[in-house]
Amino acid sequence: MHFNFEVEGGNFSKAGSASSEIKKILNQLNVDYRIIKRIVVALYEAEVNVVAHAYRGWIDANIDTDKIQLTLTDEGPGIPDIEKAMKPGFSTASAKVREMGFGAGMGLPNIRKNVDEFDLKSEVGKGTKLEFTVFINSE
Amino acid sequence: MIVKELIPLIEGKLVCGDPDSSHQMKLAFASDLMSDVLTLDSNNPLLITGLCNLQTIRTAEMADIHVIIFARNKKVTEEMIHLATQHNMMLIETPYSIFRISGILYKHGIKPIY
C-alpha cells in the first residue's frame, strides 16, 4: 500500500497530521503497537522537522507485509553538515519551534534510534530527503 | 490510581475525558520538551507538563499517552480538546507547579520512568 501526504512549512497547527493518519492506517492493519510507536515517533519527529525548517515537503509511505518505508522530501534550506545535525543537542531551530516543545537537537538522533534503516541526504539551498525503514518482524 | 483519585490531590480540573474512567495510572514523566517525551519506551505514562499547545496533544498521541496534567494554570484550548477527544485522552488543569504535582503523585505511589 502506498500513501502520500503534503506537509506545509511553518504551519504548526497541522504538524503531525500525516503521522496521525499513518498511525490510524497501521492500527487498522493490526500492526504490533510497539512497531507502530517506533514508526510514528520517527515520522512525527521528521514531520516536525519539515514544518520547522522547510518551505514545503512530501511524505511517501510504503506499507508492505514485512516492512514500512517512509520518505520525506522537502524544499528548504537544506542541512550544511549532516554529521553535525545528527549529534544529540545540536539544533538550528527558531524560538517559535522551541516554544512548541521541540528544537533541542533530539529529533534526528531519536529518528535514528527508532528505525532499522536510515538515510539522510541534503543539498544546501534546495532541500532534504530522509528515508527510513522499519522491519515488521525485526523484534 | 484512577483519575477520580488523582484530581482532588492536585486541586485538578478535568477539562477533557471521562471523570469515571477506570484507566489506571502507574507511571509518570514530567517535561516541557516534547522530543524528550518522544524518547520514552514505557507504555502509557501520565505526562505532567507546562507546555500547553496542540503539539503537546500530538506528542501524547504518538507516544501513547492518555493522561496529561497541565501545571500552573495553563489553559487548554478548544482545538486541543477536540484533538484529545479523538484519541480518548484525559486533560487536567491544575494551579500547582510541576514540582509540587510530581511530589504529590510520587508520595501516592506513582512511579518515575527513570
- Which CATH number does the domain housing residue B77 bear? 3.40.1390.20
Helix axis angle for A33-53 and A107-114, nearest 10°, is 150
ipTM of the complex: 0.91
pLDDT, tens digit, 9 for 90 and up, residues A68-112: 999 999 999 999 999 999 999 999 999 999 989 999 999 999 999
Size of interface A-B (CB pairs under 8 A): 64
Domain containing A84 equals: 2-135
Best residue of A14, A22, A33, A37 to probe chain B, by most B CBs closer than 10 Å: A37
Phi-psi region of B110 (alpha: psi -120 to 50; beta: other; left: phi over 0): beta
Q: Which residues pair with A60 in a beta bridge?
A: A4, A71
Of B39, B55, B79, the CB nearest to A15: B55
Total structural domains in chain B? 1
**pLDDT tens per residue across span B12-57:** 999 999 999 999 999 999 999 999 999 998 878 999 999 999 999 9
Residue A120 belongs to a domain with what CATH number?
3.30.565.10
pLDDT at residue A87 in the model:
94
Q: Which domain, by its residues, includes B69?
A: 3-112
pLDDT of residue B43: 77
pLDDT of residue B42: 83
Band (pLDDT 50/70/90 cuts) for residue A32 is very high
Is residue A33 less than 8 Å (CB to CB) from chain B?
A: yes
Among residues A66, A50, A67, the alpha carbon closest in space to that of A12 is found at A50
Reply yes or no on whether the pLDDT at A138 is more than 70. Answer: no
Tell me which of A138 and A94 has the higher pLDDT.
Answer: A94
Contact A102 B79 (CB under 8 A): no
- Is the Cβ pair B61, A16 closer than 8 Å? yes
pLDDT recorded at residue B86: 96
- pLDDT tens for A91-101 read 999 999 998 99
What is the number of structural domains in chain A? 1
Across-strand partners of B47? B29, B68
Chain B residue with minimum CA distance to A48:
B55
Work out the minimum CA distance from B63 to partner chain A, whole angstroms: 7
Q: Which three cell numbers stand for residue B114?
A: 527513570
A107 neighbourhood in chain B, CB within 8 Å: 35
